[in-house]
Amino acid sequence: MNTHNDNNNGKACLLVTGGAGFIGSCFVLLARAQNTYRIINLDLLSYAGNLENLASLADDPDHIFIRGDIGNGELVAHLLREYAPAGVVNFAAESHVDRSIYDPDAFVRTNVLGTSSLLRSCLAYWQSLDGPRRENFRFLHVSTDEVFGSLGPDDAPFSETTPYAPNSPYSASKAGSDMLVRAFHETYGLPTLLTNCSNNYGPRQFPEKLIPLLIIKALAGEPLPIYGKGLNVRDWLHVEDHCRAITMVLENGRPGQTYAVGGRSEKANIEVVRELCSLLDAKAPRAKGAYADLISYVADRPGHDLRYAIDPAKIERELGWRARHNFASGLESTVDWYLNNQEWVSRVQSGAYRQWLDTHYRER
């Protein structure tokens, strides 16, 4: 995937969707720091999209932000014609399991119907290309290990050949989008790539997910809600390692293939929370008592998957990818980020980033 284009300041251009969210913004920031791609960033700015994540790119002519829906075929067709990207990376999604339990339809709308519409727009664009531009075009869909369902304590980790068995509306909708990606490759020959990654952590994660939520609650002296007994296991990967994996798959992955990405870093939730508490005890001690005193066991999540684990042997062997962050130091730097960016946190919590957004968009 190395096509250059004159309309794009002589750089290969990527259409990135969902690039104002947690993982998408990390990908965009890394790509622009390395000056490898011109980025057209299409994001609807749902509650989880935050332009403040991209504030450092405000004056970067090679980052073009467009507020819009991946399901808006006319808009996507226009962007593809206008910028002629060499590839598309689809991060846009509804991404939180708990929200999917309350409103599954929102997940079907963006994750299934939105992805289907995006695929159709990309197919039409790809079919209009010829020569090396057509040969080199890639559509990379960013997915999750949750599509594989739940493992027992002694089961082998998920790999690319594990059958899909999603248990939540979130994972079911992601499974649906993955199947559509597969079908567009098999039926129309669209050069697709698929990644199924484990739980990410790192800076700028929306404080509804376990790690940022508990950091923020701990600092506020609030109870730390642990679902069930805290014994559910997740495999944790630093978001930058995930973004490097996506770049490697985009550049050297084989069209039609899937790559499982994980940190070989399985932890029970209670272990993660205890590690968080001791980091906070050292960095921001409470006036009285330890942060672990705030741990509070609450009713379990319905359909709560017991364990996720990934065997990343294929991406390691074929593409030479390796996780660079280990969990202990990655978690520490994540805690540091939240401690040093409490204004980001309070703007997200108060909704002030949304008021700013409304003002920002009223003015254009």
Chain residues binding ligand NAD by CB under 6 A are: 17-18, 20-24, 42-46, 48-49, 69-71, 91-93, 95, 110, 114, 142-144, 174, 197, 199-200, 206
Query: For ligand TYD, which residue of 123, 124, 213, 319 counts as binding (CB under 6 A)?
Result: 213
Is 318 assigned a catalytic role?
no
C-alpha 230/C-alpha 126 separation (Å) is: 47
Query: By CB under 6 A, which span of 22-30, 159-167, 220-228, 240-248 interacts with ligand TYD?
Result: 220-228
Q: Calculate ∠ Cα 242-153-94, nearest 5°.
A: 40
C-alpha 90/C-alpha 92 separation (Å) is: 6
Q: Quick check: 94 and 47 in contact, CB under 8 A? A: no
DSSP state of 254: P
* Residue 215 Cβ vs ligand TYD, minimum distance, rounded to whole Å: 12
* Residue 210 Cβ vs ligand TYD, minimum distance, rounded to whole Å: 4
Q: What is the CA radius of gyration of the chain?
A: 20
- Residue 151's binding partner among ligand TYD, ligand NAD, none (Cβ under 5 to 8 angstroms by kind) is none
- What residues numbered 20-49 form the site for ligand TYD, per CB under 6 A? none
- What residues numbered 289-308 form the site for ligand TYD, per CB under 6 A? 301
Catalytic residue (choose from 37, 83, 125, 170): 170
C-alpha 359/C-alpha 121 separation (Å) is: 31
- Token pair listed for 149: 């369902």
- Residue 18's binding partner among ligand NAD, ligand TYD, none (Cβ under 5 to 8 angstroms by kind) is ligand NAD
- Residue 232's binding partner among ligand TYD, ligand NAD, none (Cβ under 5 to 8 angstroms by kind) is ligand TYD
* CB-CB neighbours of 190 under 10 Å: 22
* Residue 359 Cβ vs ligand NAD, minimum distance, rounded to whole Å: 18
Residue 156 or 299 with smaller CB distance to ligand TYD: 299
Three-state secondary structure readout of 302-338: CCCCCECCECCHHHHHHHCCCCCCCHHHHHHHHHHHH
Q: Quick check: 245 and 315 in contact, CB under 8 A? A: yes
Is 145 assigned a catalytic role?
yes
* Residue 228 Cβ vs ligand TYD, minimum distance, rounded to whole Å: 7
Is 305 assigned a catalytic role?
no
Query: Does the protein bind ligand TYD through residue 264 (CB under 6 A)?
Result: no
Query: Does the protein bind ligand TYD through residue 192 (CB under 6 A)?
Result: no
Query: Does the protein bind ligand TYD through residue 256 (CB under 6 A)?
Result: no
Residue 283 exposed, middle or buried by CB count within 10 Å (0-12, 13-18, 19+): exposed
- Residue 24's binding partner among ligand NAD, ligand TYD, none (Cβ under 5 to 8 angstroms by kind) is ligand NAD
* CB-CB neighbours of 320 under 10 Å: 9
* Residue 28 Cβ vs ligand NAD, minimum distance, rounded to whole Å: 11
- Residue 17's binding partner among ligand TYD, ligand NAD, none (Cβ under 5 to 8 angstroms by kind) is ligand NAD
Query: Does the protein bind ligand TYD through residue 151 (CB under 6 A)?
Result: no
DSSP state of 58: T
C-alpha 237/C-alpha 323 separation (Å) is: 8
Active site residues: 145-146, 170
